[in-house]
Amino acid sequence: MPAAGGLHRAIERGHAIGCTAVQVFTSSPQMWKSKPVSDQMVKDFRGACEATGIHHVVSHDSYLVNLAAPDEAMRQKSYDSLRDEMERSALYGIRWVVSHIGAHMGEGTALGIERASHQVVKLLGETPESVMLLAETTAGQGSSLHSRFDELAEFFEACGNPDRLGVCLDTAHIFAAGYDIRTREAYKRTFEEFDRLVGISRIRAIHCNDSKKDLGTRVDRHAHLGEGLIGLEAFNHLVNDPRFFGIPILLETPDAETMHGENLRRLKALLV
Ligand SMILES: [Zn+2]
């Protein structure tokens, strides 16, 4: 949800359209630097969560972060940015921080995972325990890591499978990465594979987006629910899947200000 006028406004806007979970950026996603968090900002934000009853709040890190960057200075900058994000989130009482983790920039998946996992282990050691880091599944655009479930499994293994590391599964990304969820059979197969390689219990948040790009295209373009190439049937299976009850399911569909209410209605209409 957009946070114009203060982060607490994102919670209020979400509540106004019927959200029970909200994703926010605690700072500008296109910038490295962020404003310091004041006591008043924390008070307003926690107050809004209390008043609305919205306690499933997820923050998303800056898009600039690359924990697998070959350049050491870039890696350090990314580390500092994500550490700050987790610290800000702890102040706000936000329990989950989603990160795209990184891209190997042509140096290969194995080296990318090695670099990123080293950063993540250090990060979890230096940030408040109340915040969990969620690695997002990606579409595999460019050289981004974690478009394949086996890569995610390797990453978890390299990090030592810490409790404070989870997964944010993005439906548009996994679809673009080649995992079909359009029919009951395909949905079942895809999540069986996820469970076998990574473990379903690792999924702590879901980005619920339709896709403008087709299966396996490795291109990340979100669409309104039911208007993309995934279609509503997949989301029907998703919202009625008891394995995901209680887990924040978040919309990242286009036109947040005007269309989130409509996409939320479409999603809720699928609940049986
Ligand atoms: Zn996403």
In the reported structure, the alpha carbon of residue 60 is separated from the centroid of ligand 1 by a whole-number distance in angstroms of 9
Instruction: Give the neighbor-by-neighbor strand order of the sheet with 56-60.
Output: 21-24, 56-60, 96-99, 132-136, 165-170, 203-207, 249-250
Long-range Cβ contact pairs of 105-110 (< 8 A, separation 24 or more): 105/66, 105/68, 105/69, 105/70, 105/143, 106/70, 106/143, 107/70, 109/145, 109/151
In the reported structure, the alpha carbon of residue 242 is separated from the centroid of ligand 1 by a whole-number distance in angstroms of 21
In the reported structure, the alpha carbon of residue 27 is separated from the centroid of ligand 1 by a whole-number distance in angstroms of 17
Q: Which of 3.40.50.2300, 3.50.50.60, 2.60.40.420, 3.20.20.150 is the CATH number of 58-268?
A: 3.20.20.150
In the reported structure, the alpha carbon of residue 44 is separated from the centroid of ligand 1 by a whole-number distance in angstroms of 26
pLDDT of residue 34: 85
For 108-140, write each residue's pLDDT tens digit: 999 999 999 999 999 999 999 999 999 999 999
In the reported structure, the alpha carbon of residue 173 is separated from the centroid of ligand 1 by a whole-number distance in angstroms of 7
pTM of the full predicted structure?
0.97
CB 30 within 8 A of CB 61: no
In the reported structure, the alpha carbon of residue 2 is separated from the centroid of ligand 1 by a whole-number distance in angstroms of 15
CB 155 within 8 A of CB 161: no
Which of 144, 217, 200, 137 is closest to 173 using CA atoms?
A: 137
- Residue 252: partners with Cβ closer than 8 Å, 6 or more residues away: 23, 170, 172, 207, 208, 209, 222
pLDDT of residue 115: 98
Please state, in angstroms and as integers, the Cα–Cα distance from residue 271 to each residue in 123, 184, 233, 241, following that order.
Answer: 38, 15, 12, 10
One-letter amino acid for residue 265 of the chain = R
In the reported structure, the alpha carbon of residue 252 is separated from the centroid of ligand 1 by a whole-number distance in angstroms of 6
In the reported structure, the alpha carbon of residue 170 is separated from the centroid of ligand 1 by a whole-number distance in angstroms of 5
How many whole angstroms separate alpha carbon 83 and alpha carbon 33? 12
pLDDT of residue 226: 98
Q: Which two tokens stand for residue 216?
A: 């396996």
In the reported structure, the alpha carbon of residue 14 is separated from the centroid of ligand 1 by a whole-number distance in angstroms of 17
pLDDT of residue 33: 82
In the reported structure, the alpha carbon of residue 200 is separated from the centroid of ligand 1 by a whole-number distance in angstroms of 18
In the reported structure, the alpha carbon of residue 207 is separated from the centroid of ligand 1 by a whole-number distance in angstroms of 5
In the reported structure, the alpha carbon of residue 130 is separated from the centroid of ligand 1 by a whole-number distance in angstroms of 22
Which of 91, 72, 19 is closest to 253 using CA atoms?
A: 19
pLDDT of residue 153: 98
Number of C-beta neighbours around residue 262 at 10 A: 15
In the reported structure, the alpha carbon of residue 92 is separated from the centroid of ligand 1 by a whole-number distance in angstroms of 21
Q: Which residue ranges of the chain lie beneath pLDDT 70?
A: none
For 141-167, write each residue's pLDDT tens digit: 999 999 999 999 999 999 999 999 999
CB 56 within 8 A of CB 248: yes
pLDDT of residue 241: 98
pLDDT of residue 134: 98
